[in-house]
Amino acid sequence: MGNGSEKDIVWHHASVTRERRERLNGHRARAVWFTGLSGAGKSTIAHAVEEQLHRCGCRTFVFDGDNVRHGLCGDLGFSPADRRENLRRIGEMAKLFVDAGIVSLAAFISPMRDDRALVREIIGAQHYIEIYVSCPLEECERRDVKGMYRRARAGQLPSFTGISAPYDAPDAPHLVLETATLTVEQSVSRVLDLIVPLLALPASA
């Protein structure tokens, strides 16, 4: 007995659509993608944004880089190929969450421009919001809350973004947060100013 082949796998179109789920939830679904160096503040801001959206009654979920590495992507390393596969899986998961009518907030270094373009293609450009959490390398190293930069400088972490591996800054993100000068509260406010109007359903809905 075999498991069949790709030609045997057919996408099932459910009668309960994303639009119907959005109407039930009272808001549109979007995937908000936070990219930036380690220590820039991506996860902190994503979780703080989720807290505010949750208080307003939005259905939300945060995909955090470290958390995902414990489960869904626990079998992957940090080679360029594994990093791309890590993001591909998250993109596919975020797409499912959008289809479920949920606002997903993804906090990943996602250093390569091509990999972020792949995620945008998977999710769909109309549902994808890219936020560049910009912070100078020197400030990220000063924070170094996990001791990662210290280990990278000591040669203990090969291919560490910003030290021994490159980071491609986004060309045209929807929003840039300069977190060396903005407080978390200011950053959250700017994110909400951007995304809340995009989550509003049309009056006829």
* pLDDT tens digits, one per residue of 129-139: 999 999 999 99
Dihedral, 56, 57, 58, 63 alpha carbons, nearest 10: 90
Q: Of 21, 185, 17, whose CA–CA distance to 103 is shortest?
A: 21
pLDDT digits (tens, 9 = 90+) for 9-55: 555 567 889 899 999 999 999 999 999 999 999 999 999 999 999 99
pTM: 0.88
Please report which confidence band the pLDDT of residue 85 belongs to, taking 50, 70 and 90 as the band edges: confident
Active site residues: 110
Q: Is residue 151 part of a domain?
A: yes
Angle, CA 118 vertex, CA 114 and CA 122 arms, to 5°: 170
Domain that holds residue 92: 27-199
Count up the domains in the chain and report the number. Answer: 1
Q: Is residue 8 part of a domain?
A: no
- pLDDT value at 69 more than 80: no
Q: Is residue 163 part of a domain?
A: yes
- pLDDT value at 8 more than 90: no
Q: Is residue 22 part of a domain?
A: no
CATH number (domain holding residue 42): 3.40.50.300
